[in-house]
């Protein structure tokens, strides 16, 4: 059982019961979550809409199996804690691809705290620490170039099936490919920074406003990332790039201003290639870009933005924090597509 499990109950104003907690954790360890379950668990933890009936019944049933006295209704607050605990268990004990998806889901859905503090603040903090650690270790753990993972699998499966000594090659080749992918990725990122040009807009960042630069830079950095969950210096890269648009950027910018300042053609292209509908709740800025295309007048889409994302139209972020949110949303979408 996680050492802080009882504290998570207390954070949600639920007195922990020493007899019940072990049964709850037993169920958490038995629950087998796939990618869609991770999305549903994250939505449940942040209270983003109503869970599907199928997921809700399946999740409650696993706890009832461990404890016949478990409430099957009218215990939404405890279910929120259990969803968060399940996500942490996935992050700490699952294969790296599922763990990455769970951590990115939890951190992205928080939207840099624009949605308010989580009922159990420890859970997004643990997810953020996991991503920071993974960024340091990504050359040694997990997949290499995430865009070519499927093509490598056929080769590695063939080598493994060939038996000794060839079956020892896949692990060594994976390590070398991860290291090469990281070096290649970071080289491309440094050239991107030194060029002081936007790939998407094909113009110097100095011609962009700070809000637009923050939005577009986050997307471009995500595309340059080959190995999840991206470089440990991602926020520093984004901060430096934003300063190409303005040497002393404002301390905060409006989220909707960033979306409005981005060219309509860029927003349309981004929306066509960004997160699938299943992730809209977890990727609010990307979803906001889609919403901005639905109504020409600012006052109309601002209202739709708040309704669709749960984020107020007057919400502000530090420029590189907004860029980092867009960057993470890009990685979340890729991670979701990688997990079958």
pLDDT above 90: residue 234: yes
Counting every residue written for the chain, the total comes to: 340
pLDDT digits (tens, 9 = 90+) for 46-75: 999 888 889 999 999 999 999 999 999 999
Going by pLDDT thresholds of 50, 70 and 90, the confidence category of residue 12 is very high
pLDDT band per the 50, 70, 90 thresholds, residue 298: confident
Q: Is 307 exposed, middle or buried (0-12, 13-18, 19+ CB in 10 A)?
A: exposed
In this structure, the number of other CB atoms found within 10 A of the CB of residue 134 comes to 22
**pLDDT at position 296, please?**
73
Which residues 6+ apart lie within 8 Å of 160 measured at CB?
166, 167, 170
pLDDT tens, residue by residue, 235-294: 999 999 999 999 999 999 999 999 999 999 999 999 998 788 999 999 999 999 999 999
Give the tokens for residue 151. Answer: 């093509």
Instruction: Determine the pLDDT at residue 261.
Output: 95
pTM: 0.91
| Phi, psi angle pair for 316, to nearest 5° | -125, 155
Helix (H, G, I), strand (E, B) or coil at 36: helix
Q: How far apart are CA 215 and CA 314, in angstroms?
A: 16
Answer with the residue of higher pLDDT: 141 or 65: 65
3-state secondary structure 52-100: CHHHHHHHHHHHHHHCCCCCCCCCHHHHHHHHHHHHHHHHHHCCHHHHH
Burial tier of 191 (Cβ tally within 10 Å: 0-12, 13-18, 19+): exposed
On the question of pLDDT at 24 being above 60, the answer is yes
Q: Is the pLDDT of residue 156 over 80?
A: no
Cα–Cα distance, 34 to 31 (Å, whole number): 10
pLDDT at 146 over 60: no
Q: pLDDT tens digit string along 166-225?
A: 677 777 777 787 788 889 999 999 999 999 999 999 999 999 999 999 999 999 999 999
Q: Report the distance separating Cα 234 and Cα 320, nearest Å.
A: 10
Q: What pLDDT digit, counting tens, does each position of 81-110 carry?
A: 999 999 999 999 999 999 999 999 999 999
CB 192 within 8 A of CB 218: no
Which residue has 């109309």 as its token pair? 300
**At residue 145, does pLDDT exceed 70?**
no
Q: Between 157 and 190, whose confidence is greater?
A: 190
Q: Is the pLDDT of residue 143 over 70?
A: no
Pull the structure tokens for residue 144. 């290499």
Q: For 197, list phi and psi in degrees, rounded to 5.
A: -125, 145
Look at residue 26 and tell me whether its pLDDT is greater than 80.
yes
Arithmetic mean of pLDDT over the chain: 92
The whole-number average pLDDT for the span 292-307 is 87
Report the pLDDT value the prediction gives residue 149, as an integer from 0 to 100.
Answer: 56
DSSP state of 284: H
pLDDT higher than threshold 70 for residue 142: no
């Amino acid at each position: 059982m996680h050492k802080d499990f009882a504290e998570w109950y207390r954070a949600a104003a639920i007195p922990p019961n020493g007899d019940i907690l072990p049964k709850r954790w037993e169920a958490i360890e038995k629950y087998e979550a796939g990618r869609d379950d991770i999305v549903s668990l994250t939505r449940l933890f942040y209270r983003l809409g109503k869970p599907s009936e199928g997921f809700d019944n399946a999740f409650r049933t696993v706890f009832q199996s461990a404890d016949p006295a478990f409430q099957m209704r009218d215990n939404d607050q405890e279910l929120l804690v259990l969803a968060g605990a399940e996500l942490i268990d996935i992050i700490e004990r699952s294969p790296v691809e599922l763990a990455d998806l769970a951590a990115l889901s939890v951190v992205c859905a928080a939207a840099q705290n624009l949605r308010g503090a989580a009922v159990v603040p420890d859970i997004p903090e643990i997810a953020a620490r996991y991503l920071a650690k993974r960024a340091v270790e990504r050359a040694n753990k997990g997949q290499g170039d995430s865009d070519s993972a499927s093509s490598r699998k056929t080769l590695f499966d063939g080598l493994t099936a060939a038996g000794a000594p060839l079956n020892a090659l896949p692990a060594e080749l994976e390590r070398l490919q991860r290291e090469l992918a990281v070096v290649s990725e970071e080289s491309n990122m440094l050239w991107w920074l030194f060029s002081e040009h936007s790939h998407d807009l094909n113009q110097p960042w100095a011609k962009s406003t700070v809000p637009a630069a923050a939005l577009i830079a986050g997307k471009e950095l995500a595309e340059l990332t080959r190995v999840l969950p991206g470089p440990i210096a991602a926020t520093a890269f984004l901060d430096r790039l934003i300063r190409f648009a303005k040497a002393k950027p404002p301390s905060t910018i409006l989220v909707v201003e960033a979306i409005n300042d981005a060219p309509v053609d860029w927003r349309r292209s981004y929306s066509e290639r960004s997160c699938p509908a299943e992730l809209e709740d977890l990727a609010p800025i990307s979803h906001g870009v889609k919403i901005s295309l639905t109504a020409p007048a600012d006052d109309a889409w601002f209202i739709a933005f708040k309704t669709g994302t749960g984020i107020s139209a007057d919400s502000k972020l530090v420029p590189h924090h907004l860029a980092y949110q867009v960057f993470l949303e890009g990685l979340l979408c890729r991670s979701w597509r990688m997990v079958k």
